[in-house]
């Protein structure tokens, strides 16, 4: 796998989050993609499940910024250390950090996400 293809796939995903473009975000995934978001919770499978996950996570924001602070490509995987910040639809400001590991298949689509972050931090900030 070309490292630039792997990086572009994830960069496209991040751009879709920034613009809150649900369809562009979903287009970055393989039909049978699996998301462990966060790791330790039941996996989300397929485009339908991913679409629901998107609405739960991104849908609560009026404005959102996903800043990739570091990106490391190895083979067909990329690890991204990031900060997600934004304003919830309720006006509350949110900032959380995490690391996501994306596996990209040979068609340039995300096959697997392993997300390391603490959803409780985001929920607490939205409720303050």
Tens of pLDDT, residues 84-111: 999 999 999 999 999 999 999 999 999 9
- Provide the domain limits for residue 9: 3-127
Token duo for residue 94: 């949110």
Q: Give which of 4, 3, 28 is closest to 15, Cα–Cα.
A: 28
pLDDT tens per residue across span 47-58: 999 999 999 888
Domain count, the chain: 1
Neighbours of 54 (CB within 10 A): 18
Distance, CA of 108 to CA of 124 (rounded, Å): 36
CATH number at residue 35: 3.10.450.50
Query: Is residue 27 scored above 90 in pLDDT?
Result: yes
Find the range with the poorest average confidence among 37-46, 53-62, 63-72, 112-121. Answer: 53-62
Q: Which of the four pLDDT bands, split at 50, 70 and 90, describes residue 59?
A: confident
């Amino acid at each position: 796998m070309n490292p630039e293809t792997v990086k572009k796939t994830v960069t496209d995903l991040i751009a879709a989050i920034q613009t809150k473009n649900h369809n562009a975000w979903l287009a970055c995934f393989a039909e049978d993609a699996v998301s462990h978001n966060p790791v330790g919770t039941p996996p989300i499978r397929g485009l339908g499940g991913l679409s629901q996950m998107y609405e739960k996570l991104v849908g609560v924001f009026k404005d959102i910024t996903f800043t990739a602070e570091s990106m490391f490509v190895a083979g067909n995987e990329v690890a991204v250390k990031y900060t997600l910040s934004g304003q919830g639809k309720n006006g509350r400001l949110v900032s959380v950090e995490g690391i996501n590991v994306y596996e990209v298949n040979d068609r340039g689509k995300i096959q697997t996400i392993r997300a390391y972050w603490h959803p409780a931090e985001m929920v607490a900030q939205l409720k303050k």
